[in-house]
Amino acid sequence: MESSTLHSNEDDIASAVVRHQEAHGAPHVPASSVRMSLIDEVYARSGVNVRTCYQCGKCSAGCPMMGEMAVRPHVVMHLVQRNQRAEALSCDGIWLCLSCETCSARCPKSADPARVIDTLREMATETNPGLAPRAIGAFNKTFLDQIRSKGRMSEVGLAMQFNLRSGRLLQDATSMPALVSRGKLKINPPSMRDIDDVRRIFANVEAATRDARSKGGYR
Amino acid sequence: MARIGVFVCHCGENISRTVDCSGVAKALADHPGVAVSMDYKYMCSDPGQNLVKQAIEEHALTGVVVAACSPHMHEKTFRRAASQAGLNPFVVEMANVREQCSWVHEAGPATDAKAIDIVRTIVEKVKNNAPLETVRIPLTKRALVIGGGIAGIQAALDIADGGAEVVLVEKEPSIGGHMSQLSETFPTLDCSQCILTPRMVEVYQHPRITLYTHSEIEAVDGYIGNFHVTVRKKARSVDERLCTGCGDCQAACPNRKIPSEFDAELGTRPAIYVPFPQAVPNIPVLDRENCTLFKGRAKGREKDLCGKCKEACLRSAIDYEQQDELIDEKVGAIVIATGFKLYTIGREQPEGLSGYPEYNYGEIPDVISGLQFERLASASGPTGGRIVRPSDGTVPKRVVFLQCIGSRDPEKGISYCSKICCMYAAKHTMLYRHKVHDGQATVFYMDIRTAGKGYEEFVRRAIEEDGADYIRGRVSRMYRDGDTVKVVGYDTLAGEPAILDADMVVLCTAIRPHKGNKNLGRKLSVTYDQYGFISSAHPKLRPVETTTAGVFVAGACMSPSDIPDSIASASAAASKVLGMFSGDELEREPTVAIVNERTCIGCFNCEKVCPYGAIEHIDVCNRDNEICGHVARVLPGVCQGCGTCVATCPSKSVELQGFTDEQIFAEINALLTW
Amino acid sequence: MSLAYYPGCSLHGTAREFDESMRAVADALGIEMTEIDDWSCCGASSAHSSNHLLGVALAARNLALAEAEGRDAVVAPCAACFSRLAMARQEVAEDEELAASLPGILERPFDNTVDVLNVVQLLLPYAESIRELVADGPGFSAVGQMKVASYYGCLLVRPVGVAGADDTEVPTTMEQVASACGAQPVAWNMAVECCGGSLSMSRTSSVVRLGRAIIDDARRAGADAIVVACPMCHANLDFRQVARAEDGGTVPVIYLTQLVGLALGIDAEKLGLNRHFVDTSPLLVELADRATSAEADAAAKAAAKATRAGAVV
């Protein structure tokens, strides 16, 4: 396996899921959100009818991350078809997905696995943020916090915050000087003038989402 | 004054469980014009029919209403009974109180009231029924079969053996169709040509079969029993009467590198050629598009650039000046047996379909189609039956077969299952293993669909005895990797990737209809489905009839079919034709449209909307007997009684017999009045 | 056409050479583009996998700004930003309810009128101009000696219908631009495979594995350089592959804009070619050598021909 110091403190996502489940029991799914079957909820959120999937496996065959996933794209689709909510929202496949869209581009049934996986990630984040493996959850959270506070992403800030959150204190640290010497890292990148404008979008989206969910809608 | 008899049937308990049948009969007894009204447990039984016959005689009835089931069930029964009692059958009507009342409602006064309403409307209609006569049509006892593949051959032989004459028209230079290209056939692995060529010769020698090859249907006119067909016999550039099929012209042709259609472009042929040694007729055809002489003429060269074939022909049968010939044939029935074509995975696709970029659009030379594999495996093929790679001629040791290429792939434009691929893929693995003993055959499949006699056993044999590997999953991508083809798939049963290096890949491509089907369908007023397959009149009950009377259909032009299916449907179509030919005239129900020629304004909107081509133009003459205009007339033999013309006519000059405006308005009035 | 420029966060940070070369090439080709004033992050993959509406809204804010500035189109050189902006534009066009809700969420008018272009789409119509400008330059340019593997990755070809490539699996648009520059595109197998971009930080081992396969295939195909149009791909192939360079050879990874800039005779440093982790200078020296010897060969051949012709006369 890769042994370079740059990525030695790798988090094993599959075992992270297991660890999480051992620590917290089965994934917690609030009763209020179980008002329709998983397949119908995925449809309501994404417009994708997972019933069209006939399990040919072409998505998994072309998936670049297939070898690293325990639950592969066509199995994710199957879990949705079987209404296995807890399993679908906690499987490693949805977090290892790169959103490269190869599966959806080649799907003979237009069943759009990439969109389904994206939707499952969104649902998992809403249901229980702890469902995301630590590294990936940390990355997404750090990224969004950055945008909320600065309006733009600063790579130095992102990397430092991310390493703190994910517990990989030294990842990429050795490459910092190289990046600086190439003029690629600005410690204080130019920020936006009207950051409040972006913060209002976050607030409005949160309000709209809360409002929609309380009315039983997903869009 | 009308004297109507009303007969209410209990249908065992089917009607009487929810409808008060005797109450209905009593209510109708008081209805104006009703002479007699009664109910009975089974009106369609012999005693029930006798009640109707007796009442007709005793009460001198002018019309009969049977309140029972749908007219589809028993209208014919009661019309026959009435006719035996001396009443015109077309004044007998069914009032449907079963499907439209007792089966769909709970018992109660409202249900009884609805039943009474239904019967009353029909009584009012029958008061306006006119006695009609069955339409009689003359009949030409001669059949046209379009397409000379196995289905067309079977239909032609069955009809001709039954005693009728047959005109068989084939587009290609030889009959035989796709079956002649196959090496062996499933599930018996008998040689395709060995069982086919005797049938081809039989067609050629049959005294009642006229064969036109290299010919197409130019135009079709007329109607059931009386079709006029124009056949375009394309110029062959060879005089069929003089040619002996010696092959000297082929040997003399200098232009020999033309991809052979018969060998699925794996082999080559000269510009003048017989497609394959057993071709029927064994007469060459000159491919003018690829002929040096004709290419020169097309460019305006004054002096011919070649003439080798003509020089070589000792019988002087080569005729460069030959023209297309139009031949008129009169037939009474038509069988469509145009067969199928195959999906190709290339970049260029017909409208509505797309290719397989993820498989590099089939641009890798050692990725071939199933039909190409047939030619490689065939003793008459370009390699003499040696299975080798097109790229370098070596024997492939690892062959991968991909099923459902195009089929069951709505993204590429085809949703249906092509039905034969599971079987021929299994056959291919066997043929391959029988020829390359140390070779490995692997099949990627989604489901194995082998419902047919001996079919499941055949696939199991391929797996269990001939060692074919079956992997359940679709392949995501293929690309060239040095000398081999990288096949990136997934084994959904093992839950593991299946990434294989193949020496050759065979694509089991989908069956598609000929694009000519739509054109032919329009010429014959026959409907086709969304893909272009010819539609049956009814998918279950009338599988080999079409929406046009007198036009039948057989084989893979309806839907993907294997050889036994094609032959069965061809024989079925032939028996339908022979049944039609069993009398001297044809009888048709008189529920057809008629035009009032006095009020018709000659706009011919009816002609535009008629799905069956049943409208003809007739001349209108003035007092001096000069033609002064045209009006429409309905051909009773063609009209199917759909009523579209009635709805379209701006001058209200068309009426549908049995469903006239008076009859319909009387029904509506009945609902409003009582 | 009034064109807006959306650099995005990466082009102000680790991918600044993409920004530099983009601006230099636009200047050379006479493409006028104006940076969107006070643009914000497009949301990247983190926003839409956490909350779909947030992903659309963050991207739409920038489209709304460009719209207010009166632009017809916006070019987003970063393929990830392009994908988010183009996705948002398409979703809003297809979903009336979403379209109606956005002005309220953004707190500004938004009619979704601005077209979104990636760098390949922007340069493709200029292929002929590039070809002419290259023809006017020195007869044997270094770029003319360069074999390139055009790497599209995901976001320039997928999702189908959003990315705007000519073909999802066998695209040719980048090759067309590269050919216009005089470079020779190689046939290879990894042009549309994913480099692992979205897990670059959170699961580095996967990214190294995926990048490796791409680099190996480019080498096998005989490419002198991999041409990209995405900062994520660039980081994964350039920065991450240096981390694994112990097995020997490397392949320089350059932006499409840098290739065009070189062909147009723009100074390598101005194009930021010095900022890559895989050193590009040996390649530039080697290409120059090849150009010189090709020129000498051609001269020798011409001389020989002249001699032969003279002998005949």
* Res A188: pLDDT: 59
Rounded-to-integer distance, Cα B287 and Cα B283, Å: 13
Task: Report the distance separating Cα B528 and Cα B90, nearest Å.
Answer: 33
Looking at the predicted structure, is the pLDDT value of residue A189 above 70?
Answer: no
**C197 contacts on A by Cβ (under 8 Å):** 98
The reply to whether residue B412 touches residue A60, judged by beta carbons under 8 angstroms, is no
**Chain C residue at shortest CA distance from B411:** C160
pLDDT band of B310, cuts 50, 70, 90: very high
User: Which amino acid, one-letter code, is at C169?
Assistant: E
Residue B655's alpha-carbon distances to A218, B301, B548, B643, in angstroms, are: 56, 62, 21, 8
Classify residue B41 as exposed, middle or buried by CB count within 10 Å of its CB (0-12, 13-18, 19+). Answer: middle
The pLDDT score that the predictor gives to residue A23 is: 54
Which site among A51, A54, A56 would you substitute to test the B interface, given the most B Cβ atoms closer than 10 Å to its Cβ? A56
Q: Is the pLDDT of residue B456 over 70?
A: yes
How many alpha carbons lie under 13 Å from residue B403 in its C-beta half-sphere? 27
Helix axes of B150-161 and B563-580: crossing angle, nearest 10 degrees: 30
**How many other C-beta atoms are found inside a 10 Å radius of the C-beta of residue B322?**
15
Q: Do A54 and B497 touch (CB under 8 A)?
A: no
C12 closest CB neighbour out of A11, A159, A190: A190
Q: Please tell me the distance from the alpha carbon of residue B375 to that of residue B380, in angstroms, as a whole number.
A: 8
Q: Where would I find the H helices in B210-369?
A: 248-252, 292-298, 308-312
Can you tell me the distance from the alpha carbon of A84 to that of A78, in angstroms, rounded to the nearest whole number? 9
Rounded Cα gap, residues C230 and C154, in angstroms? 10
Whole-number Å distance between alpha carbons of C80 and B601: 68
Q: Give the pLDDT band (50/70/90) at residue B665.
A: very high
Mean predicted lDDT score pLDDT of chain B:
95
Cα–Cα distance, C272 to A184 (Å, whole number):
10
Please determine, for residue B385, whether its predicted confidence score (pLDDT) is greater than 50.
yes
Residues of A in contact with B494 (CB under 8 A): none
Verify whether the Cβ–Cβ distance A105 to C159 is below 8 Å. Answer: yes
Chains in contact with chain C (at least 3 beta-carbon pairs closer than 8 A): A, B
pLDDT digits (tens, 9 = 90+) for B541-587: 899 999 888 999 999 999 999 999 999 999 999 999 999 999 999 98
Q: Tell me B101's DSSP state.
A: I
Higher pLDDT, B323 or C244: B323
pLDDT higher than 50, residue B123: yes
> Is 70 exceeded by the pLDDT of residue B61?
yes
DSSP chain A: ----GGG-S---HHHHHHHHHHHH-SPP--GGGTTS-HHHHHHHHH---GGG-----HHHHH-TTGGG-SS-HHHHHHHHHTT-HHHHHH-SHHHH-----HHHHH-TT---HHHHHHHHHHHHHHH-GGGS-HHHHHHHHHHHHHHHHHSS--HHHHHHHHHHHHT-TTTTGGGHHHHHHTT---SS----S-HHHHHHHHHHHHHHHHHHHHTT---
Over residues B480-493, the mean pLDDT reads 95
The answer to whether the CB atoms of A204 and C210 lie below 8 A apart is no
- Do the chains contact at A108 and B411, CB–CB below 8 Å? yes
Q: Determine the pLDDT at residue A154.
A: 80
pTM score, two decimals? 0.84
Q: How far is C148 from chain B (nearest CA, A)?
A: 19
Is the C-alpha dihedral spanning B262, B268, B271, B273 positive or negative? negative
Out of A8-12, A28-32, A79-83, C121-125, least confident range = A8-12
Residue B216 forms beta bridges with which residues? B232
Whether residue B357 and residue C189 make contact (CB cut-off 8 A), yes or no, is no
Chain C positions touching chain B (beta carbons under 8 Å):
167-170, 189
B495 touches chain A (CB under 8 A): yes
> Taking CB atoms and an 8 Å limit, are A166 and C196 in contact across chains?
no
B-chain residues near C167 (CB < 8 A): 357
Contact yes or no for C167/C205 (Cβ under 8 A): no
Partners for A (CB, 8 Å, 3+ pairs)?
A: B, C
Q: What's the rounded mean pLDDT across residues B304-315?
A: 94
Q: Which residues contact B13 (CB under 8 A, 6 or more apart)?
A: none
What's the rounded mean pLDDT across residues C229-245? 80
Q: Is the dihedral of CA A103, A104, A107, A111 positive or negative?
A: positive
Distances (CA, A) of B522 to A136, B62, B410, B525, B528: 61, 44, 26, 5, 9
C206 touches chain A (CB under 8 A): yes
Instruction: Give the best residue of A147, A168, A199, A209 to mutate against chain C (max C CB count within 10 A).
Output: A147
Predicted local confidence at residue C305, as pLDDT: 87
B199 pLDDT above the threshold of 70? yes
Residue pLDDT, tens place only, B255-303: 999 999 999 999 999 999 999 999 999 999 999 999 999 999 999 988 9
Residue B249 corresponds to which tokens in the numbers above?
């012209």
Bridge partners of B489, per DSSP, are B498
Amino acid identity, position A65: M
pLDDT in tens, A22-61: 555 544 444 444 468 999 999 999 999 999 999 999 999 9
Mean predicted lDDT score pLDDT of chain C: 91
d(C-alpha C156, C-alpha C165), whole Å: 6
Inter-chain touch C244–A155, beta carbons under 8 Å: no
Q: Three-state SS for B122?
A: helix
CA distance B559 to A169: 65
User: Mutating which of C157, C167, C169, C217 best tests the B interface, going by the most B Cβ atoms within 10 A?
Assistant: C169
Confidence of residue A125 (pLDDT cuts 50, 70, 90): confident
Task: Give B 478-507 residues with CB within 8 A of chain C.
Answer: 479-481, 486
Mutation to test the C interface, candidates A15, A145, A155, A161, most C Cβ within 10 Å: A155
CA distance B368 to B378: 15
Q: Average pLDDT of C166-189?
A: 95
Report how far apart, in Å, the C-alpha atoms of C223 and of each of B82, C184, C188, C214, C250 are: 90, 9, 9, 11, 11
Which of B348, B475, B478, B479 to mutate to probe the C interface, most C CBs <10 Å? B479
Q: What is the tens place of the pLDDT at every residue in B398-423?
A: 999 999 999 999 999 999 999 999 99
Residue C34, Cα to own-chain centre: how many angstroms? 19
340-379 of B, contacting C, C-beta below 8 A = 357-358, 360-361
Count CB neighbours of A71 within 10 A.
21
Whether chain A has a CB inside 8 Å of the CB on C61: the answer is yes
Residue among B403, A186, B219, A125 at smallest CA distance from C55? A125
What is the per-residue DSSP string for B242-265?
Answer: T-----HHHHH-S---EEPTTTTT
Chain-chain contact of A140 with C50 (C-beta, under 8 angstroms)? yes
Per-residue pLDDT at B122: 97
The tokens of A14 are what? 């599959």
> What's phi and psi for B463, nearest 5 deg?
-80, -50
Nearest to C169 among B358, B481, B486 (CB): B358
Total CB pairs under 8 A between chain A and C: 193
Q: What single string gives the DSSP state of each residue in C136-177?
A: HS-SS-SGGG-EEEE--TTTTT-STTTS--S-SSS--HHHHH
What is the arithmetic mean of pLDDT over B79-93? 96
- Residues A137-142: what's their mean pLDDT? 84
pLDDT at B245: 93
Residues C292 and C300: beta-carbon distance below 8 Å: no
A112, closest residue in chain B (CA to CA)? B411
CB B167 within 8 A of CB B154: no
Q: Do B479 and C169 touch (CB under 8 A)?
A: no
Nearest Cα to Cα of residue A64 among C101, B488, B404, C204: B488
Asked if residue B381 has pLDDT above 60, the reply is yes
Single out the residue of B229, B234, B171, B167 nearest to residue B203, CA to CA: B167
Cis ω on the peptide bond leading into residue B281 (within 30° of 0)? yes
Contact A60 B492 (CB under 8 A): yes
pLDDT value for B244: 94
Residue A22: per-residue pLDDT: 55
Q: Summarize pLDDT for B627-648 with one digit per residue, the tens.
A: 888 999 998 888 889 999 999 9
Closest CA of chain B from A62, distance in Å: 5
Question: Which residues does residue B504 pair with via DSSP β-bridges, in sequence order?
Answer: B399
| Other C-beta atoms lying within 10 Å of the C-beta of residue B235 | 17
